[in-house]
Amino acid sequence: MRALFYSLKQENMQLKDKMITLSLSIVMVISFGFYFLGAHVDNIGAETLSGDLLSQRSTYQPTYKSSRLFPDAGSVTPRRVDITPVGSSTQGIVPDRISIPSIDVDTSIEDVGILPDGKMGVPDDGDQVGWFNRGPKPGAAGQAVMAGHVDDQNGPAIFYHLDELEKGDVVKVHNDQGDERIFRVTHKKVYPYDEKNIEEVFGPTSQSNLNLITCTGEFDRQAGTHRERLVVFTEEMTQ
């Protein structure tokens, strides 16, 4: 009888050990899953502004454009202007055309998304601007993002003079129905091309913003791209 009791006790202890082991395994699997998911999302965000975001498509030797306005590009403090943002009730528009009168930009817009390697796509044509269609529409609450080349095999491209924009300059966006959203420049900032902290460019906000991106800085032949990215930040004007 005593032997039977001892045997049952041993089996009970083994069952408890198995239950504890199983519970720990489940916790580890769930924790690893969250870690992997978070790392994957962070990687997509980090790649969006780096690498081929606005890589040049030729051996054309670009002009070094950033030293004149940004003597210390890594520590530039953005300049701001007080502009009352619109409310978040509007749904925004699907952009078809963009105009920036102060730098003589007036061109069509094409949709770009995320490339298989996790980077933001760019327009094939150096004279066009690409709208990141995985983000907000211009005029909606959030940060709409558009990108254009600074140069290509033919020389200066659509955003060659983007660095000349100043606070208060106007950016107009239209859809194919003629609806218009008007933005004013608030500040601009230069980032290293491999910058990973891009929350202020693509992150959420309750305001209606439009951020314009192009390449700047010296051309790194080994990396095949410019060493910096210029971002011009704008907010929608109230009507």
Higher pLDDT, 52 or 210: 210
Predicted pLDDT of residue 177? 96
Please report whether residue 13 resides in a domain: no
Cα separation, 144 vs 131, whole angstroms: 8
What is the average pLDDT across 207-222? 89
Q: What are phi and psi of 192, to 5 degrees?
A: -60, 150
Q: Is 149 a catalytic residue?
A: yes
- Which range scores top for mean pLDDT: 76-80, 88-92, 151-155? 151-155
Please report whether residue 69 resides in a domain: yes
**How many domains are contained in the chain?**
1
> Range with the lowest mean pLDDT among 40-44, 130-134, 194-198, 211-215?
40-44
Q: Is the pLDDT of residue 44 over 50?
A: no
Predicted pLDDT of residue 29? 43
Return the sign of the alpha-carbon dihedral for residues 96, 106, 83, 146: positive
Predicted pLDDT of residue 219? 78
Please report whether residue 64 resides in a domain: yes
Tally of CB atoms within 10 A around 149 = 26
User: Domain holding 66: CATH number?
Assistant: 2.40.260.10
Predicted pLDDT of residue 91? 85
Residue-wise pLDDT for 31-43, tens only, equals: 444 444 344 434 4
Please report whether residue 24 resides in a domain: no
For the whole model, what pTM was predicted?
0.65
Please report whether residue 10 resides in a domain: no
Predicted pLDDT of residue 193? 77
Cα separation, 223 vs 52, whole angstroms: 10
Q: Is 161 a catalytic residue?
A: no
Please report whether residue 99 resides in a domain: yes
Q: Is the pLDDT of residue 82 over 60?
A: no
What is the average pLDDT across 84-98? 70
Query: How does residue 142 score in pLDDT terms, banded at 50, 70 and 90?
Result: very high
E strand intervals along the chain: 97-100, 105-112, 129-132, 142-147, 151-152, 155-156, 170-174, 180-192, 208-220, 225-236
- Which range scores top for mean pLDDT: 85-89, 126-130, 196-200? 126-130
Q: Which helix (H) or strand (E) holds 41?
A: helix 2-48
Strand partners, 181: 173
Domain region containing 226: 49-236
Cα separation, 45 vs 43, whole angstroms: 5
Please pick, among 149, 161, 174, 226, the residue that the annotation labels catalytic. Answer: 149
What is the average pLDDT across 103-123? 91
